[in-house]
Amino acid sequence: MNNITINELYQSRIKKFTEELAKQKKNLTRISILRLVVFLLLIGAFFMLYPYSVLWAIVTFIVLFSSFIYLVKIYFRGNQHKDFLEKLIHLNNAELSVLKGDFSVFENGKEFIQSRHPFTSDLDIFGENSIFQYLNRTVSPNGKEMLAFWLSNVHKNKTRIEEKQEAVKE
C-alpha cells in the first residue's frame, strides 16, 4: 500500500465513524428524552392513581420504573459505543497526522531519558522525534513503560532476540 491509499483508508474510516457517531448521538438524545418522559409519567401516574387504587399505583410504578431502568441501561451502552467511536476517530486522525510526518500526537517518552544511559540519548530513543515517539501507540502507563524498557535494554541472548522478532512479526 502506498501513502495515498493509506491516507484514503484513514479518511474513509473517519468519515464512516463520524457518520455513525452522529447517528449514535441522535439515538442517545432520543433515549434521554424518552427517559425523561417515562420518569415524569412514573411520578405523575403514581400520584394520580394512588388516591383511587393503591394496587394500580404500585403496578404502574413497577412497570414504569422497570422501563426507566431499561432505558438507563440502553443509554449507558450507547454512551460507551459513542465513546468508542470518538476514540476511533481520534486514532485515525492521529495516524493521518503521522502520515504527514507529525508524530506530536503521540507521547515522546521524555520521562524515560537517562543522561548516563549508554545509548538512549545518543540514538534519540526518547524525546521529540524519537524512536519511542515513532513507535508509541500505547494506551496505558504499563504499556508505555514496557515499550520504554524494550527500547532501553539490550538482549544478549540470541534465542530471546529471535523470540521478540517472532512476536513482532505476529
DSSP-assigned states of every residue in 13-43: HHHHHHHHHHHHHHHHHHHHHHHHHHHHHHH
> 74 or 107: which carries more pLDDT confidence?
74
> 158 or 40: which carries more pLDDT confidence?
40
Q: What percent of the chain has pLDDT over 90?
A: 43
Asked if residue 2 has pLDDT above 60, the reply is no
Quick one: average pLDDT of 98-111? 82
Tell me the three-class secondary structure of 94-161, residue by residue. Answer: HHHHHHCCCCCCCCCCHHHCCCCCCCCCCCCCCCCCCHHHHHCCCCCHHHHHHHHHHHHCCCCCHHHH
Count of beta carbons in the 10 Å neighbourhood of residue 124: 14
Quick one: average pLDDT of 40-66? 89
Can you read off the three cell numbers belonging to residue 166?
517472532
Q: Alpha-carbon dihedral of residues 17, 20, 24, 27, nearest 10 degrees?
A: 170
28 pLDDT band, cuts 50/70/90, is very high
Say whether pTM exceeds 0.75.
no
Contact partners, residue 132, CB within 8 Å, separation at least 6: 107, 108, 109, 112, 125, 126, 147, 148, 151
How far apart are the C-alpha atoms of 98 and 104, rounded to whole Å? 8
129 pLDDT band, cuts 50/70/90, is confident
Can you read off the three cell numbers belonging to residue 86?
470518538
Give tens-digit pLDDT for 132-155.
888 888 878 898 888 888 888 777
Quick one: average pLDDT of 18-40? 97
Give tens-digit pLDDT for 110-122.
777 777 766 766 6
How far apart are the C-alpha atoms of 88 and 11, rounded to whole Å? 12
- Residue 3 contacts residue 74 (beta carbons within 8 Å): no
Quick one: average pLDDT of 80-103? 92
31 pLDDT band, cuts 50/70/90, is very high
